[in-house]
C-alpha cells in the first residue's frame, strides 16, 4: 500500500503538533508539505524543520509554497503539481492541515470550538497506529470506498448564496456528472481533512486545475477554497465511489 501524507501549513504554531500525528502511519509513506508562505520571519525555522523531516519521514519529502493562495486546497494543488511533474501515484492519500486554534463556538456542529474541530478530525484520521491500520483495512477490503473521515462533520451546509458560482465553475472544469453534485448531492466534509482513494488523487492530477485557480488571502465563505471543499464529495461519487464516515 503506497501512502502519501499531504499537509498544508499556515498556522505554524501548531505545525509540530499536527505533524506528530503522522507518526501513527505504519510503514513507509511520502510527505508533501506545503507552506502558505516563507519569509524572513520563519525561514530559519522552516529550513531546520525540512532537514529534520527528511531524516524522520520513512519515504520521500516534497516541499512547496503556495504564497497564501487557496488555503489548504491551494496547498494541495501545489503538492499535486509536484506529483504531476514527477509522475507520483499512490494508493491512499491522507490530507490534513493546521486548522487554527480558536475557542469560538460553532453552532452548526453542536457548539464545538475550531480547536476541538481540528482535534476531532486529526484523532479520527490519525489518532493511533491501530486507528490508521483500521482505516487502511477499510480501503483494502471495500474497493467502493473513496473517502474516509469523521461523520460529525459530514454535512449539507452548502450555502448556495455564497458558494454556487465558484462551485459550478469547478464542476464544469472537472466535467463532473450533475447527479453527483449539488443540489442532487448537497453533502460535503466540513474541515477538509480526510483519507482519499488514490484514484481521486489521479483524477485531480490529470485535471487542468492548479493553485492559480484559487485566489490570494484568507478564506471566507464564498471563496474558491470554500467552494472546492464542497466539490470533493462530488468527485468521490463521480468516480463511482462512496464515503465512509464514523
Average pLDDT score, the chain: 95
- The Cα 177–Cα 75 span in angstroms is 26
Q: What is the pLDDT of residues 138-185, one digit of tens each?
A: 999 999 999 999 999 999 988 888 899 999 999 999 999 999 999 999
More confident residue, 75 or 106: 75
- pTM to 2 decimal places: 0.95
Q: What is the pLDDT of residues 180-194, one digit of tens each?
A: 999 999 999 999 999
Span 211-227, mean pLDDT? 87
Q: What is the pLDDT of residues 81-121, one digit of tens each?
A: 999 999 999 999 999 999 888 888 888 788 899 899 999 99
- The Cα 200–Cα 207 span in angstroms is 11
pLDDT at site 218: 67
Angle between the N-to-C axes of helices 224-238 and 160-174, in degrees from 0 to 180, rounded to the nearest 10: 50
Amino acid at each position: 500500500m503506497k501512502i502519501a501524507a499531504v499537509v498544508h501549513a499556515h498556522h505554524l504554531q501548531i505545525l509540530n503538533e499536527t505533524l506528530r500525528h503522522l507518526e501513527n502511519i505504519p510503514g513507509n509513506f511520502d510527505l508533501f508539505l506545503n507552506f502558505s508562505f516563507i519569509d524572513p520571519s520563519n525561514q530559519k525555522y522552516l529550513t531546520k524543520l525540512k532537514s529534520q523531516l527528511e531524516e524522520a519521514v520513512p519515504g520521500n519529502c516534497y516541499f512547496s509554497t503556495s504564497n497564501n493562495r487557496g488555503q489548504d486546497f491551494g496547498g494541495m494543488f501545489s503538492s499535486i503539481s509536484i506529483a504531476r511533474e514527477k509522475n507520483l501515484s499512490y494508493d491512499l492519500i491522507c490530507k490534513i492541515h493546521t486548522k487554527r486554534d480558536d475557542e469560538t463556538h460553532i453552532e452548526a456542529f453542536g457548539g464545538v470550538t475550531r480547536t476541538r474541530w481540528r482535534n476531532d478530525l486529526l484523532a479520527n484520521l490519525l489518532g493511533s497506529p491501530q486507528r490508521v491500520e483500521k482505516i487502511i483495512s477499510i480501503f483494502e477490503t471495500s474497493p467502493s470506498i473513496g473517502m474516509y473521515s469523521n461523520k460529525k462533520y459530514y454535512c449539507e451546509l452548502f450555502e448556495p448564496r455564497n458558494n454556487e458560482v465558484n462551485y459550478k465553475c469547478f464542476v464544469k472544469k472537472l466535467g463532473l456528472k450533475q447527479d453527483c453534485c449539488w443540489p442532487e448531492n448537497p453533502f460535503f466534509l466540513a474541515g477538509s481533512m480526510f483519507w482519499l482513494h488514490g484514484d481521486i488523487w489521479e483524477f485531480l492530477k490529470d485535471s487542468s486545475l492548479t493553485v492559480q485557480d484559487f485566489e490570494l488571502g484568507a478564506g471566507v465563505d464564498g471563496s474558491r477554497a470554500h467552494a472546492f471543499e464542497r466539490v470533493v464529495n462530488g468527485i468521490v461519487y463521480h468516480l463511482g465511489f462512496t464515503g465512509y464516515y464514523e
